[in-house]
Structure formats: C-alpha cells, structure tokens
C-alpha cells in the first residue's frame, strides 16, 4: 500500500464511519475502482481505532461519567441505581453479540463477505430498512389528523432487552455494506427511540467492539501489502476527519431526517449492480491486484 492510497482510504474511513452508509463498503469500493488491492478487514479494523478515538474525545464527558459510575457499581449496590452505571452495563451487554459473531465468522468477514455483489445488496436492503424506520420516527413526531403525536423513548428508558437488540443490530455490520451506525440507528428507531438517542447509543456501543476488533487485528498489519507506516497514517487521518463528522452528524439528526443517506445507499447499490453486470468491475475486483 502506497502513502497516497493510505491518505485516500484514511480520508474515506473518517468521512464514512459514522454516517449510515458503511465505511467498510466504501473502503472496498474505492480500492476496487482505483485498481488497488483490497485493503482488507485488518486495515479497516485498525483504522477504526482512529475513528473511535474521535468518539472517546467528543463524548469524553459522557464516557467519563459512565466509567466512573460503572466502577463504583462494582462494589456498591446503591451505585448500581445510577443511570450512568446502568448505561455502562448495557454497553457491555450490547457488545456481546458482535464479539461472539465476529470471532465465529472471522474467515467469512475477511473473504466471501467482501464480494461486491453482497455489498451492493446490503447497501440497498439496509437503505430501505433505514428509510422505513426514519419514516416511522417522523410519523410519531408529526402525528396526524386522526393520530396523536407519540413520544419516543430516551436513553434513560433503555432496557436490557433493548440493549441486546441494539447489539444484534450492530453485529450485522460485520458484513460490509450494512453500516454499524445504519443498523443500530435503524434498530433504535424501530424500538421507538428518538433519533438523537439512537445515534448516541450507537456511538457509545461501538467503542468497546471497535477497539477490541482493532487490537485483535493488529497482528495482521505488516503482512502482505498493508504496511505499518501507511496504516498508522490512515488511522490518524481518520481520527481527525471523523471528529468533524461526528459534530456535524449530531447537529444534522436533531432537525433532519436520514432520507438523503437512504437515497444515496440505494442509488450506490443499484449503480454497483449495473457496473458489475456491464463488466466494468468484477465482483472480486482488487482481491488479486498487486
């Protein structure tokens, strides 16, 4: 991997990680269309350490309160009633599905799941799911002529059941094209949570899973065409870009819908299918380049 490739891929990782459009799919697509070798699951996982560092800094006050309360809850029954301590436990509970499935399907994640036809399918399907969930949220907030406005849930109302369901939704992001934020936000909206609440928990839930995945994949960096220097450069760049994207995205969802992302996902998926059918790009493009 050249330094220019690492610059482009780090930029793409930072721009797409927290938007519901799938960073892993975009890394795979950019490499395929540029004629570069697929950066692979290990490169994606390690550069995500940079984007999750942006989450740690952006939500540092929230995370600091959660960690402090969680540690107190380990030896104090009364402290377990603190909503922040409860959130800490729920993040752990929600991280179980992706941890188990990530280890169970490691070979598929690094191989068959990176087929461009599967990526096109997941882009379209999850785009439709996100669109339906977003319309439901908008309908509840707006009400109607014969329907009262429905108050949506905040994170204070998060239950163990909902935490596990969030975690199952996050685990779907092991397949490139699904999108971690897209899957978890959709799950949250279907369970009746507000847009901001669904996005905030999505970001918090991603921290342990992504950091663990990145650390687990560190051993694979340096093997093959992915070297340490370009990977670290891409990780730092992804951190800088992702921090700006988080700030923008949290402002966006407080007043806007997810429909632009829905349209983009479906259009990209359809365009990818058309290009594969026309022979412009093969479903395994980049896997044997270089």
What pLDDT digit, counting tens, does each position of 88-98 carry? 999 999 999 98
Q: Which position has the token pair 């950019």? A: 30
Dihedral (Cα; 194, 198, 203, 205), 10-degree rounding? 140
Does residue 30 lie in a domain region? Answer: yes
Answer whether residue 283 is part of any domain: no
CB 95 within 8 A of CB 206: no
Rg (CA), the chain: 19
Residue 283's contacts (CB-CB under 8 Å, 6 or more residues apart) are 115, 116, 117, 276
Crossing angle, helix 40-58 and helix 195-217, to 10 degrees? 130
What is the mean predicted confidence (pLDDT) over 211-217? 81
Average pLDDT over residues 131-147: 80
The 3-state DSSP class for residue 193 equals: strand
Domain-embedded: residue 163:
yes
Of 101-105, 107-111, 118-122, which gets the smallest average pLDDT? 107-111
- Tell me the β-bridge partners of 193: 153
Each residue's pLDDT tens digit, 27-67: 989 988 998 888 877 788 889 899 999 999 999 999 999 99
For residue 66 the two structure tokens come to 């959660």
The whole-model pTM stands at 0.85
The span from the CA of 193 to the CA of 181, in Å, is 14
As for how many domains the chain has, the answer is: 1
Q: Residue 202 falls within a domain, yes or no?
A: yes
Instruction: Quickly state the pLDDT bin for 274 (edges 50, 70, 90).
Output: very high
Question: Residues 187, 137: contact at Cβ < 8 Å?
Answer: no
Residue 203 phi/psi, 5° resolution?
-65, -45
Enclosing H/E stretch for 194: none
Q: How far apart are CA 87 and CA 93, in angstroms?
A: 10
Domain assignment present for residue 18? The answer is: yes
The span from the CA of 58 to the CA of 206, in Å, is: 14
Residue range(s) defining the domain that contains residue 239: 3-143+150-278
Q: Which of 157-166, 214-223, 259-268 has the lowest mean pLDDT?
A: 214-223
What proportions of the chain, in percent to the nearest 5, are helix, strand and coil? 75, 0, 20
Element (H, E) at 114: none
Lowest model confidence (mean pLDDT) among 83-87, 111-115, 220-224? 220-224
- Judged against a pLDDT cut of 60, whether residue 289 lies above it is answered with no
**Residue 22: left (phi > 0), alpha (psi -120 to 50), or beta?**
left
pLDDT above 90 covers what percent of the chain? 53
The helix/strand/coil state of 176 is coil
Average pLDDT of the segment spanning 134-160: 81
Say what the pLDDT of residue 129 is: 96
pLDDT tops 70 at residue 287: no
Q: How far is the C-alpha of 69 from the C-alpha of 92, rounded, in Å?
A: 14
pLDDT value at position 224? 65
Asked if residue 113 has pLDDT above 50, the reply is yes
Residue 51 lies in a domain: yes
The three-class DSSP label of residue 153 is: strand
Tell me if 290 is assigned to some domain: no
| 287 located within any domain | no
Q: List the beta bridge partners of residue 147.
A: 144
Output the pLDDT for position 109.
77
């Amino acid at each position: 991997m050249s330094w220019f490739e690492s610059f482009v891929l780090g930029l793409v990782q930072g721009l797409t990680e927290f938007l519901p459009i799938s960073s892993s799919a975009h890394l795979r697509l950019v490499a395929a269309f540029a004629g570069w070798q697929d950066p692979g699951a290990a490169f994606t996982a390690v550069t995500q350490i940079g984007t999750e560092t942006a989450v740690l800094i952006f939500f540092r006050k929230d995370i600091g309160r959660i960690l402090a309360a969680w540690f107190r809850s380990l030896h104090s029954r009364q402290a377990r009633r603190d909503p922040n301590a409860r959130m800490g436990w729920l993040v752990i509970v929600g991280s179980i599905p992706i941890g188990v499935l990530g280890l169970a399907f490691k070979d598929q994640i690094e191989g068959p799941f990176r087929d461009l036809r599967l990526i096109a399918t997941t882009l379209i399907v999850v785009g439709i799911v996100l669109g339906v969930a977003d319309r439901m949220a908008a309908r509840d907030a707006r009400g109607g002529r014969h329907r009262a406005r429905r108050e949506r849930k905040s994170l204070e109302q998060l239950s163990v059941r909902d935490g596990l369901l969030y975690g199952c939704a996050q685990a779907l992001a092991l397949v490139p094209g699904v999108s971690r934020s897209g899957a978890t936000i959709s799950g949250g909206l279907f369970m009746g949570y507000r847009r901001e609440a669904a996005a905030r928990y999505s970001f918090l839930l991603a921290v342990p899973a992504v950091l663990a995945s990145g650390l687990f994949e560190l051993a694979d960096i340096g093997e093959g065409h992915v070297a340490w220097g370009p990977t670290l450069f891409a990780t730092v760049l992804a951190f800088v870009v992702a921090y700006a994207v988080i700030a923008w995205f949290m402002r966006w969802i407080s007043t806007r819908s997810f429909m632009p992302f829905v349209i983009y996902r479906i259009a990209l998926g359809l365009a990818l299918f058309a290009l594969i059918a026309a022979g412009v790009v093969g479903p395994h493009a980049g896997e044997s380049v270089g």
